[in-house]
Chains A and B, each alone.
Chain A
């Protein structure tokens, strides 16, 4: 009797263990890496979307998100190369993604749709980035724009008008001088950390929106000439003392705070920075989105923008039977019309039905108004460079502005590495 009771107890125990194990198997832990970390304006929206995903599926998300910069990009690529890539990655869809796409480490949308026909069905296929092999891999999230933020309070103190879509380089230089004379810093920018914003626009100012994406192939071609001219324009601004006195030692965060605290007038940044000011500005009515001054053939109403990032599902997750469905569901939820509408305020999307943002704040409304006046848009040319060439080019901006290297040599050095 005792023996059979013991056997029964053992049997019950084993059955309960098996059932617990079976139940536990259903909960999958997804490793996700995105650029919605740090002070990204959409960080809260992303965290809310992840929470909603976890609640609706019972799965867990290991969120490895960080701020997007060159170091983060390098880390993501290194993770792929060392076999420690995440299951889902939100990353750039341009040349930056080619190393892991060509290595077959992410799954194409075509392959995913063969099993999940509705995958990314709410997106316009024509707006999804096409890789070098002609396939599409990433489900696009919201797009971006880069333009000039202005501190209206500083401009008002200096008697300078908020720039309009016909703002010229000459007017800008005159305004900078007035602002400097009044004791403010005209341009908030860390030339050591984020010179790329000014590089994009000064290069476009020395070319056109149509040929903006031309990458120099030789030191004597037209693209190299406009790149060098763009760098020289930045040098002229530096020599005139329009950047912060510590622009070569300050972090991006420091110079953005300079602008936020009413010490600087102009800041070129992207749509992602709107969220930062929404959270940190004392009064959003003090800020507006204006236009980067135009020069030559470029009008101030021509800007940088596009959709440059999207969600990739890695081959590692796809080949894991437990993670495949969880990863597909994660991307589907994060790119649904409802979720993307919370991420978007003024940015373009690839949604078939478009995003429906609600309740724009004064800065978001200002961005929407400025975007309504944008006449043409081009992607960022830096996205066409290899990590090594880009690091070299932007690392040399400080050498160019201080006269340690000529702009032509800096461009030649980048060409050699691209």
Chain B
């Protein structure tokens, strides 16, 4: 009886078809419709297309020449690089450190993972207050340390030159730092799980051979963690392309002076605020293409080793 289950494959189709139909209706159909929309003239969400653009590839031409799109691409790629270096990098260091301590490991796991459970919108509002221009937490600290220039006017009023954390010189740090901070805990938990799977016998044997802490990390931990690390990197790269909510809450429409656009925020602004649905669809296509290319490249570079 049980062998029949494996021989007769046709009933499996019954279980696969509903999920396939669901994806067909809610993923593939909208996706292909979205590609068609990029060639049409659509003046608002839900509105019927008013015919083809002139020329029909107008949006793709605009994509090529739009300076804000270039800014969005540049920022998104920068975010991707920072994600790999800082999110996964810091998570790895924290995981290695927590793995070596005996007391409080569970406490640190909870603490580092906590930002993940808070909504990005709430985090955005929190960081807005932290980096607030007048009276924000960081600026108050700087003021109390005497790091902000002050001037006493003839009227006796003390004028503080607050630091604008969202201006041209600081916006990248202010935008990227909370994003990095938010997801460190996610990769930390994945990496610490990977570390737990490494047999303690190996460390004991290495210790008997006279290997110190650094050598144990270099020659045992990191090689055995390679596959987990590769998974983290691929997740980090593809995840960076989808970052939207936190930068949107903090920087809205490209603040300052259209310099902080990301592909996601620019697509949202064009579609929902500017009501330029066809151009928004074109940006969406670009995001998908970029996602496929980058995730393929990441998969090739960080391919898990079959020896492990």
Binding site for B on A (CB under 8 A): 70-71, 74-75, 77-78, 80-83, 99, 157-158, 181-184, 192-193, 245-246, 248-250, 254, 258, 263, 386-388, 391-392, 395, 398-399, 402, 404
In the complex, B162 has a CB within 8 A of chain A: yes
- Name the prevailing secondary structure of the A interface residues: helix
Q: Specify which of B46, B133, B151 is in contact with A250 (CB 8 Å cutoff).
A: B133
Bound together, the chains give a CA A23 to CA B207 distance in angstroms of 78
Q: Which residue of A lies closest to B153 (CB)?
A: A183
CA distance A234 to B154 in the complex (A): 28
Set of chain A residues within 8 Å of B44, measured between Cβ atoms: 77-78, 81, 99
- Would you list the 3 A-B pairs with minimal beta carbon distance, nearest first? A81-B46, A183-B153, A249-B166
Q: With the chains together, A193 CA to B252 CA distance in Å?
A: 10
Q: Say yes or no: B45 contacts A388, CB within 8 Å.
A: no
Q: Is the CB of A71 within 8 A of B167?
A: no
Which interface class (under 10, 10 to 19, 20 to 34, 35 or more) fits B?
20 to 34
Contact check: which of B45, B134, B276 meets A81 at CB < 8 Å?
B45
Q: Does B47 contact A (CB under 8 A)?
A: yes
Flag if B274 contacts A402 (CB, 8 Å). no
B256 within 8 A of A: yes
CB-CB < 8 A to B171: which residues of A? 249
Query: CB < 8 Å: which of A78, A386, A392 contacts B45?
Result: A78
CB distance from B225 to the nearest CB of A (A): 41
**Docked-complex contact A184 and B157, CB < 8 angstroms:** yes
**Nearest opposing residue in chain A for B256, CB measure:** A249
Verify A249–B275 contact, CB threshold 8 A. no
Residues of B near A249 (CB, < 8 A) are 133, 164, 166-167, 171, 255-256
Q: Which residues of B contact A387 (CB under 8 A)?
A: 273-275
B residues less than 8 Å from A183 (CB atoms): 151, 153, 155, 157-159
- In whole angstroms, what is the CA distance A78 to B43 when docked? 11
Report the nearest A residue to B152, measured CB to CB: A183
> What chain A residues lie within 8 Å of B167 (beta carbons)?
246, 248-249
Can you list 26 A-B pairs, Cβ within 8 angstroms, ordered by A?
A70-B273, A71-B273, A74-B273, A77-B44, A77-B45, A78-B44, A78-B46, A81-B45, A82-B45, A83-B46, A182-B154, A183-B157, A245-B133, A245-B161, A246-B133, A246-B166, A248-B255, A249-B164, A249-B166, A250-B133, A254-B132, A258-B134, A387-B273, A387-B275, A388-B275, A391-B274
Q: Which of B245-277 contact A (CB under 8 A)?
A: 252-253, 255-258, 272-276
Given contacts A74-B275, A388-B275, contact A398 B257 (CB under 8 A): yes
Q: Smallest distance from the beta carbon of B170 to chain A beta carbons, Å?
A: 9
User: Which of B153, B159, B274 is the one whose CB lies under 8 Å from A392?
Assistant: B274
Contact indicator A263/B154 (Cβ below 8 Å): no
Cα-based distance from A250 to B151 in the complex (angstroms): 22
- Name the distance in Å between A206's Cβ and chain B's nearest Cβ: 25
* Docked CA distance A258–B133 (Å): 11
Q: How far is the CA of A77 from the CA of B166 in the complex (A)?
A: 31
Residues on B with beta carbons closer than 8 Å to the beta carbon of A78: 44-46, 272
A248-B132 in contact (CB<8A)? no
How many Å lie between the Cα of A321 and that of B167 in the bound state? 55
The distance from the CB of B209 to the nearest CB of chain A, in whole angstroms, is 58
Chain A residues within an 8 Å CB radius of B43: 388
- Report the minimal beta-carbon distance from B285 to chain A, rounded to whole angstroms: 21
Per the bound structure, the CA–CA distance linking A62 and B126 in Å amounts to 28
Complex Cα spacing A379 to B10, Å: 70
- What's the least CB distance linking B99 to chain A, in Å? 41
Residue among B155, B161, B171 with the highest chain A CB neighbour number at 10 A = B155
A77 contacts across to B, CB distance below 8 A: 44-45, 275
User: Please, which residue of chain B has its CB at the minimum distance from the CB of A103?
Assistant: B47
Would you call A263 and B46 a contact (CB within 8 A)? no
C-alpha gap A181/B154 in the complex (Å): 8
Instruction: Pick from B155, B253, B272: contact of A395, CB below 8 A.
Output: B253
From residue B70, how far is it (CB to closest CB) to chain A in Å? Answer: 15
A80: nearest residue on chain B (CB-CB)? B46
Point out the residues of chain A lying under 8 angstroms from B133, CB to CB: 245-246, 249-250, 254
Name the residue of chain B whose CB is nearest to the CB of A394: B253
Give the one of A75, A82, A395 with max B CB within 10 A.
A395
Q: Are B155 and A245 within 8 A (Cβ)? A: no
- Chain B: CB-nearest residue to A69: B273
CB-CB < 8 A to A182: which residues of B?
Answer: 153-155, 157
Q: Give the residues from 132 to 163 in chain B that come closer than 8 angstroms, CB to CB, to chain A.
A: 132-134, 151, 153-155, 157-159, 161-162
Of the residues B134, B154, B159, B255, contact of A192 by C-beta under 8 Å: B255
* B47 to A, closest residue via Cβ: A81
Q: A81-B45, A157-B155, A388-B274 are in contact. List 19 more A-B contacts (CB 8 A).
A: A71-B273, A74-B272, A74-B273, A74-B275, A82-B46, A182-B155, A192-B253, A245-B161, A245-B164, A246-B133, A248-B256, A249-B133, A249-B166, A250-B133, A254-B134, A386-B275, A388-B43, A391-B274, A398-B257
